[in-house]
Structure 1
Amino acid sequence: MSELSLIRWMKKFGRQPIGPKRYTTELKRSVIRAVQDGMSAYRAGNTFDISCGTVSRWVREYKGENTELSSPKPDDMANKKPVDPKEAEILALKKALEYANLKIRALDTMIDIAEEQLKIDIRKKSGAKRS
């Protein structure tokens, strides 16, 4: 199931919708630098938990107009810690776990609604015997 289908389904059945993701300028800079240093857009997307299309769009926009992303201000560099690959991986895994838990909740809700509307038992009972 795609993320967009899940969002539409959650909106239709009254659950809290997932809002659009907001990315900081620092994250955009990091992703663009990674791509410029030779990382593919697909790998950068997986590393930073961003879609490949979004990464590609950022790179196109950077090439077209945005020169401010390539030269960070000295103030930003003083306050910013270097991105550790392990920390980025942990963050990506946490986001993946959050998405998986959301998907499980949505599927459980979908089964509950189907059982209610169709008046049949879909889930296996814990004490059911094999035939």
Structure 2
Amino acid sequence: MTMCITSHLDKGVIVAEYLLGKSTYRQLGLKYDVDFRIIHSWVMKFQGKEKPKKKSANDTPQKAVVNLDEALVVLTEALHKEKLRNELLNTMIDIAEKDLQISIRKKFGTNQ
């Protein structure tokens, strides 16, 4: 408990030591005089599994409105594309039924 970790290199050494399986978070915390939870956060950040930061009370309403507006635009575009796809498929079935002179669509309520 004599060392204070401040440099990026020291963090990298601790993360590497953990990832090599040589020590646990708690062992490294005692060895380098760092809270084991901080070491855990360094490892998670290195692995790209960092927890999303909590939203502040001031950011939430404005960001939520922006996110909802963006989501609405994306969903509206997706709905439009699916409607066009549905129309295309129905037209293809109509043409196939006309050209092949067979019924492709299932008739509801009939016994199979």
Q: TM-score range by the shorter chain?
A: 0.3 to 0.5
TM-score (norm 1): 0.35
TM-score norm. by structure 2 comes to 0.41
Larger RCO, structures 1/2 (Cα 8 Å, 6+ apart):
1
